Chains A and B, each alone.
Chain A
Amino acid sequence: NAGVTQTPKFQVLKTGQSMTLQCAQDMNHEYMSWYRQDPGMGLRLIHYSVGAGITDQGEVPNGYNVSRSTTEDFPLRLLSAAPSQTSVYFCASRGEASYEQYFGPGTRLTVT
C-alpha cells in the first residue's frame, strides 16, 4: 500500500491564480480530511468527507472547495489564491471503524 499520497510537494502561486492539490489513498478509507498547518497554530481542519459524494466544512473552509467523486481521491481546490493561504497542507484518511488517521507527506504552498 502507498498509504496517503499528495501532489505536488511544493508549489508557488501568484495572487489570484487557481490550483488543485491532489490527495489519494489506497486503503479504502471512508473518512478523508484536509488540514492546513501554520506556525504556532497547529493543524486546522479545512474540509472533510465521510464517504464518496459527501463533504462538509471544517474550521477554515473559506477560499477552498472540495469534492469526493471516488473513495480514493479527495482534491482540494483553491479558486483564487491569496497570500493568507501560504501554508503547509496535509491530507488525512481513516477507516470507519478505526481511531487512527493516516497523514500524507504534505504540500508546501507559497502565494506571492
Chain B
Amino acid sequence: GEDVEQSLFLSVREGDSSVINCTYTDSSSTYLYWYKQEPGAGLQLLTYIFSNMDMKQDQRLTVLLNKKDKHLSLRIADTQTGDSAIYFCADTGGGNKLTFGTGTQLKVEL
C-alpha cells in the first residue's frame, strides 16, 4: 500500500527558515497536503498542491514538489514560536482516502 515518510523532529531558531521533508510512494497521487497540529488539537489544513504543479507559495509557506523523486517539502520562512507544532504531509493517491506521514515535530527556539 501507499507509504508516506517524514523525519520525526526538527529544531530551528526563531527567525530562521524551516524545511520539512516528506517522501511518498504512490505515483498516482493527485493532491498532496500539509496539515498542522497544535498541542491537544485536531489537524488543520495549511496548504496543498496539485500533482501537476512543482511549486506553490502562500505567504510564509512554500511547497515544493518533485514528482519524479516523489518528494514534497514545506518551507516556512521567518519561523516564529507560534509555528511550533506537528506537521503532517498527506496524499490521496488515486482515490478519496488520505494517507498521512508520521508527522514532524517542529520546535522553534528563541
Report whether A104 and B42 are in contact in the complex, using a CB–CB cutoff of 8 Å: yes
Report whether A101 and B98 are in contact in the complex, using a CB–CB cutoff of 8 Å: yes
Q: With a CB–CB cut-off of 8 A, which chain B residues contact A101? A: 43, 45, 98
B18 to chain A: closest CB distance in Å? 19
Total residues of chain B contacting the partner, CB 8 A: 20
Report whether A99 and B103 are in contact in the complex, using a CB–CB cutoff of 8 Å: no
Binding site for A on B (CB under 8 A): 1, 4, 8, 31, 33, 41-45, 48, 88, 96-103
A/B pair count, beta carbons within 8 Å: 46
A43 interfacial by beta-carbon distance below 8 Å = yes
In the assembled complex, the Cα of A45 lies from the Cα of B95 at a distance in Å of 14
Total residues of chain A contacting the partner, CB 8 A: 23
Which of B1, B4, B44 has a CB less than 8 Å from the CB of A42? B4
Report whether B101 and A105 are in contact in the complex, using a CB–CB cutoff of 8 Å: no
Q: With a CB–CB cut-off of 8 A, which chain A residues contact B100? A: 35, 42-44
